[in-house]
Structure 1
Amino acid sequence: MGLISRVEVRNLFSIKSGMAEFFTPQSSHETMLVQVAGGANDDLFVHHFQTDQLLVVRGSFVLVILQNRKYDYIGLSDRKPAVVKIPRGIPHAAINFSDEPCLMVNAVLRHGGTDERDYRPLPRPFPYDLDAARAALEALDYPICA
């Protein structure tokens, strides 16, 4: 039986030196800066040959994960540095309840070339539970605008 891939959330550790604070580095093949627009409520998509490692550096958003025929909602913000690792093959989306964009770094791990299907929207099997999504963000003590 093969291993089942799952999303992981890891809090980052830091070391302070003077006025600077250095956080746990992330290994990657490629690093992208990603912006989720204010008010975004995206459709699902999936990567076939990459693992995303997301770290919010400004703002907040809710990561929506579809696994085992249900949605999981993960609140992420710049106030609680954490990396969420999304293995290939897991449908995911973003909801940004704020009017302000959310900025994050994606330390991508490549498992092959890009696939033309990677950014094609997938139909939602059922609507998102926006109350559950808001609760995931509120659990971080992050103010929600909307």
Structure 2
Amino acid sequence: MGLNKHVEIEVLESMQSGMAQFYTPLSCHETMLVQVPPRAIDDLFVHHFQTDRLLVVRGSFVLVVLQNRQYRYLPLSDRHPAVITIPPGVPHGALNFSDEPCLVVNAVLRHGKAIERDYRPMKPRFAYDLEAAKAALDRELATAIGA
């Protein structure tokens, strides 16, 4: 059985208990806390033996995914708890349009030993469409506040 090569977005299920809201746990091999700096325009990364499962816990950013020679701009924010799953072999990067850092939990699934080039950035072969990415994030944030 091969690994899925498509990025997936999963809205987390939750349950209320008193004043607290409990969300679906993320099983993983390793948990990382990642900070996307303010005004970041990140290069692409490709992991060969890991699946990234990202959840924004503070702030917002746009995940850039390169598939079929096209960029997809996937806005993520702490206002809509969702996990985005990036399988091995999918180039991806981050854009933070905010003046504040964004904090992300990465629940990593390992499919083999990590290699050095998994963490070496690659310059995008063609420029990001920053206006399209910002518009996607603006739509996400407007939906979150009910505008």
TM-score (norm 1): 0.93
Residue equivalent to 2:48: 48
Distance 1:96 1:62 in 2: 6
Residue equivalent to 2:68: 68
Aligned amino acid, residue 58 of structure 2: R
Asked whether the equivalents of residues 4 and 87 of structure 2 are also in contact (C-alpha less than 8 Å), the reply is no
Note the 1:22-37 alignment, pairs <5 A: 22-37=22-37
Distance 2:3 2:30 in 1: 25
Distance 2:112 2:3 in 1: 19
Percent identity over paired residues: 67
- Find runs of 4+ consecutive structure 1 residues off by over 4 angstroms: none
Gap change, CA 1:119 and 1:19, over 3 Å in 2: same
Gap change, CA 1:114 and 1:86, over 3 Å in 2: same
- Measure how far apart 1:4 and its partner are: 5.1
Residue equivalent to 1:95: 95
Distance 1:141 1:59 in 2: 10
Tell me the C-alpha RMSD between the 2 structures. Answer: 1.6
Residue equivalent to 2:136: 136
Aligned amino acid, residue 32 of structure 2: M
Distance 1:34 1:121 in 2: 15
How many residues align? The count is 143
Residue equivalent to 1:58: 58
Aligned amino acid, residue 98 of structure 1: S
Consecutive unaligned residues of structure 1, counting only runs of 5 or more, are none
Consecutive unaligned residues of structure 2, counting only runs of 5 or more, are 143-147
TM-score (norm 2): 0.93
| 1:117-143 deviation per Cα after TM superposition (whole angstroms, max 9, x unaligned) | 01111121110001110111112125x
Residue equivalent to 1:79: 79
Secondary structure class of the residue paired with 1:21: strand
